[in-house]
Amino acid sequence: MSATCQASANFLAFNDEDIKAIRNNTTTKKVLERDIDIRLDCEVLLETTQFRNGTLQVKNWRTGATVLCGECDFCTLLLDGLQREFSSTTCEWGVERILGKEGEKIWFQLNKVEFGRLPSSFLNGWENLESRGVSVLIFRGWGTCLGESSNMARFDVEVTFEFFTDRVDPFIELLNIYRRSLESTPLSESNVAKIKNWINDCDENHQNCWSDDSTSNEDSMPYFLPTRLLSIGKEGGNVRLVPTSFLKADPKTAEKISYVALSYCWGSAETAGGSLLMTTHQTMKSRLQRIEINTMPQAFKDAITVAHKLRIQYLWIDSLCIIQDDPPDWQKESSNMAEIFSNAYLTIAAAQGSSCNDTFLSRELLQVEIPFQIRSDEFEEKDCVLGLRFRRPNTDKMSEINQSRWVTRGWTFQEDCLARRVLIFGEKKLLFSCRTVERVEDIDAQKTRPHWVDNVLDTSTGRNTASTKRSEYDHWRDLCRHYTRRFLTCPEDKLPAISGMASLMAKRREAEYLAGLWKSDLEHDLFWYPTRSVESVRIYRAPSWSWASLDGALAWFDSRTCSQNSCQMHCTILDVGTIPLGLDPLGAVSDGFLKVSGRLLKIDVAWTDDPNKYRWRLDFAGKEVARAIPDDPTRSDQSKIIRRQSFWALLFATCQGDKQRPRGILLKETGRQRENWDEFQRVGIFKVLYGPASNERTAIDAWLRMEERTIIIV
């Protein structure tokens, strides 16, 4: 099989004009672009009822003016890229809505090929990497599918490949290709050596990673160990559950113990094989004696393999180290997640597979080396061999994990953030991060850790300025924004699955935590809103003013221009609190209240056709006074059809800064009282409107004419 066919060799060649463009273009993402006409007639072969699992089979490669052979290395790579894009973006393309059940046709037409570079923002923080040269090859075009009832759909297609090379020559230097070839297996000899070097560099040179060795309470031991660990012995030896109480009796022994923690997806009952290997009261005695390796899910076996390669004797896996049918034990251990993951020698993230039965130590890797023709006297008309492999158009980390189930799960979010060091086994690459840097397998350089994670989780003290506090609360909301895009198998875990991060933030700020919000920044924390469809939970999980009361992606009003001391309050928070449901004071809650004294307007709500997030118009005395974002847009859709509704609008605060408007909380009465005060529930948030002819004072005049009233929001 040849590396390229004649057609692909032609549009992949470089001439003098191309070389000039590469030298001169140092700013834009698009360096070179060429017209092509690749047309592929495909069928979708299904093994399941889900189209994302379908296989593309090209029936004809030769219908376009750019006649590909369909057999060379490059054509094989192009089909691999189309297949991966098809699997990951089927829903975006709308194919499932159009196609029938099997054997349906899709036509792809690719009309542009671009030699480009990743956005400069993707290189932010990378040491010694310049945003110049060429780093990616992008094919653009469209696809068309024909369904059972002659329904047709057209969708945009973009397939990206990244360049890599292990060679050195002047043309490669001009292109500035900084990626290297990947090993065929994650735990190759060279990769194991690389992992050890990353860890050693962290141990020896990263003061920030080890400046605060203990995240446990002052009254506890100076060196933390989980309640139980798995002793994995030597390779091929026995595995058993070990209580660490006897190890803690000798501090010198305890300090020498290192353990690896596993972050993974349990999977559904079906994908996990019906019964995940767990420790229960019934199995505890046998677990303490021996756990047969052949009874373990594949992800557990893989974690043991990694630990053996790193010569670490102990392993922490939640299903085996927590007594799963003992609620007090579960609550106690879940409240210790910050300590468990931040004190682990290394956290292994199994970012492949959909359940614990899937391996994370295999790779379906197609990378090919292709001779690119250089039609230039400057480079002596020589071919330059460059590698190409598929990548998703995202940051290195997200390119590797954004199709994984691991990145969608709620518990794995804080496990990744809390870990002192994490080694991610991605789709094609290893990724390593600690509290100082991030690394990726195919790049020799290192990247600075994102500050929005570090600012919240750093437990050092000493920075207590208003701007520092403001920044930390903003970063907390960033964390929550990411977290709300995750899913939980058990909805009641919404608050427990983030309590580890909350405990570190509480220690850092000495602040009171209230079901996902902070008492000292409620004027900003309360103003969350849905960014896509959300669902109300059936069983009580949090007060209505907490974002944890809903399932779905949320965001917050931007308060970065507002310092805490300059936020103008229009009401007074008299009291606020939550009641923990279990042993974890920052976990699940059974009740919560917000007692406020302020001015309320009884307003009429009407649906608007405004395409932005402000879906409700708020009218008072026949005049529009504000626009609101409903907490549950699904219910607001129903109200649009049924009737106009009346709610209460509590004027709350105004941030100080450019284009800031008075804002408030939209409420409905529950018909009950608490402490002789009327009880309300939150249904949305609003911003007050005013135009050029008015100002804030006149805009909120309707509220100012009202008497202050004390209410309780639950």
For the stretch 290-306, pLDDT in tens is 999 999 999 999 999 99
pLDDT, position 381: 74
Of 253-267, 585-599, 688-702, least confident by mean pLDDT is 688-702
Give pLDDT tens digits for 662-709: 999 999 999 999 999 999 999 999 999 876 555 667 789 999 999 999
Are residues 370 and 422 both part of a single domain? no
Q: What is the rounded average pLDDT of the residues 455-459?
A: 56
More confident position, 170 or 610:
170
Residue 120 DSSP class: G
Q: What is the rounded average pLDDT of the residues 536-560?
A: 92
In the predicted model, is pLDDT for residue 517 greater than 50? yes
293 located within any domain = yes
Q: Give CA–CA dist 274/383, Å, rounded.
A: 55
Q: What is the rounded average pLDDT of the residues 341-356?
A: 93
Which of 373, 393, 413 is the last residue in one of the domains? 393
Name the strands in the sheet holding 136-146, side by side, starting at the edge strand that comes first in the sequence: 14-15, 367-375, 383-391, 152-164, 136-146, 105-116, 30-45, 55-60
Closest alpha carbon to 339 in 506, 501, 512, 515: 501
Closest alpha carbon to 683 in 498, 570, 536, 571: 536
SS (H, E, C) 1-64: CCCCCHHHHHHHCEEHHHHHHHHHCCCCCEEEEEEEEEEEEEEEECCCCCHHHCEEEEEECCCC
Are residues 415 and 516 both part of a single domain? no
Closest alpha carbon to 522 in 577, 464, 452: 577
In the predicted model, is pLDDT for residue 563 greater than 60? no
Residue 458: pLDDT band with limits 50, 70, 90 = low
Report the number of distinct structural domains present in the chain.
3
Q: Give CA–CA dist 482/413, Å, rounded.
A: 8
Are residues 21 and 149 both part of a single domain? yes
Of 50-64, 416-430, 666-680, least confident by mean pLDDT is 50-64
Domain limits at 67? 6-182+363-393
Token pair 């029936």: residue: 59
Give pLDDT tens digits for 630-674: 998 766 544 454 456 899 999 999 987 666 789 999 999 999 999
More confident position, 276 or 589:
589
Of 121-135, 416-430, 550-564, 699-713, least confident by mean pLDDT is 121-135
367 located within any domain = yes
In the predicted model, is pLDDT for residue 47 greater than 80? no
Provide long-range contacts, Cβ within 8 A and 24+ apart, for 469-475.
469/509, 469/520, 469/521, 469/564, 470/559, 470/560, 470/562, 470/563, 470/564, 472/505, 472/508, 472/509, 473/518, 473/521, 473/524, 473/525, 474/559, 474/560, 475/451
**704 near 688, Cβ under 8 Å?**
no
Q: Give CA–CA dist 319/580, Å, rounded.
A: 24
149 located within any domain = yes
pLDDT, position 618: 93
**What is the SS3 assignment for 433?**
strand
Are residues 626 and 702 both part of a single domain? yes
Taken in order 504, 510, 514, 519, the sign of the CA dihedral is negative
Q: What is the rounded average pLDDT of the residues 574-581?
A: 97
Q: What is the rounded average pLDDT of the residues 480-494?
A: 93
pLDDT, position 44: 83
Are residues 201 and 350 both part of a single domain? yes
**What is the SS3 assignment for 592?**
strand
Are residues 209 and 303 both part of a single domain? yes
Residue 457: pLDDT band with limits 50, 70, 90 = low
Which amino acid is present at 601?
L
CA 309 to chain centre: 29
CA dihedral angle for residue 180, residue 185, residue 190, residue 194, rounded to 10 degrees: 80
pLDDT, position 364: 85
Q: What is the rounded average pLDDT of the residues 481-496?
A: 93
Are residues 591 and 634 both part of a single domain? yes
Q: What is the rounded average pLDDT of the residues 606-630?
A: 85
pLDDT, position 686: 95
455 located within any domain = no
More confident position, 557 or 380:
557
pLDDT, position 462: 44
The percentage of the chain sitting over the pLDDT mark of 70, rounded to a whole number, equals: 85
1 located within any domain = no
Mean pLDDT, all residues of the chain: 86
pLDDT, position 709: 97
Give pLDDT tens digits for 207-247: 888 765 444 444 433 478 999 999 998 877 789 999 998 77
456 located within any domain = no
Are residues 612 and 655 both part of a single domain? yes
In the predicted model, is pLDDT for residue 79 greater than 80? yes
Q: What is the rounded average pLDDT of the residues 174-202?
A: 96
Give pLDDT tens digits for 99-141: 555 457 889 999 999 999 887 666 677 776 777 889 999 999 9
CA dihedral angle for residue 462, residue 467, residue 470, residue 471, rounded to 10 degrees: -80
Contacts of residue 411, defined as CB under 8 A and 6 or more positions apart, other chains included, come to 488, 493, 497
Are residues 176 and 197 both part of a single domain? no
pLDDT, position 220: 39
255 located within any domain = yes
DSSP code per residue over 299-344: HHHHHHHHHHHTT--EEE-HHHHSBTT-HHHHHHHHTTHHHHHHSS
pLDDT, position 641: 42
Are residues 377 and 490 both part of a single domain? no
Q: What is the rounded average pLDDT of the residues 199-204?
A: 94
Q: What is the rounded average pLDDT of the residues 29-54?
A: 81
Q: What is the pTM of this model?
A: 0.86
Are residues 210 and 271 both part of a single domain? yes
Q: Can you read off the two tokens belonging to residue 240?
A: 């058993």
457 located within any domain = no
Are residues 89 and 140 both part of a single domain? yes
More confident position, 499 or 403:
499
